Amino acid sequence: DGGITQSPKYLFRKEGQNVTLSCEQNLNHDAMYWYRQDPGQGLRLIYYSQIVNDFQKGDIAEGYSVSREKKESFPLTVTSAQKNPTAFYLCASQGGGGASEQFFGPGTRLTVL
């Protein structure tokens, strides 16, 4: 079964803690993305990576960090510097180069207590 997985599905964090969201894909895609989704808003790009060991900031990167050590994995760390981290986080991957479909994972809902 090819696809993209995210874990955990729900995550609770105390203020001041860092947490890491997992994203794994077995689609052999080069590009991977992290988005944040808030109620009534669209998808806002946090970070993206088009190749292993390289990544770029998106529109709302402050308070987040990523790594891309393996093609299959693109974990997102939400740091204590992120002022309002409660949101639904979506990971996506894209293959084929250029403009094409993005495949999304099921999402992680992060709640700060």
Q: Are 75 and 53 in contact (CB under 8 A)?
A: no
* Shortest distance, position 16 Cβ to other proteins, whole Å: 28
Residue 22 or 79 with smaller CB distance to other proteins: 22
Q: Which residues bind other proteins (CB under 8 A)?
A: 6, 31, 33, 40-43, 45, 48, 50, 90, 92, 94, 97-107, 109
* Shortest distance, position 9 Cβ to other proteins, whole Å: 9
Q: How far apart are CA 79 and CA 90, in angstroms?
A: 17
Q: Tell me which residue of 94, 93, 100 sits closest to 6, measured CA to CA.
A: 93
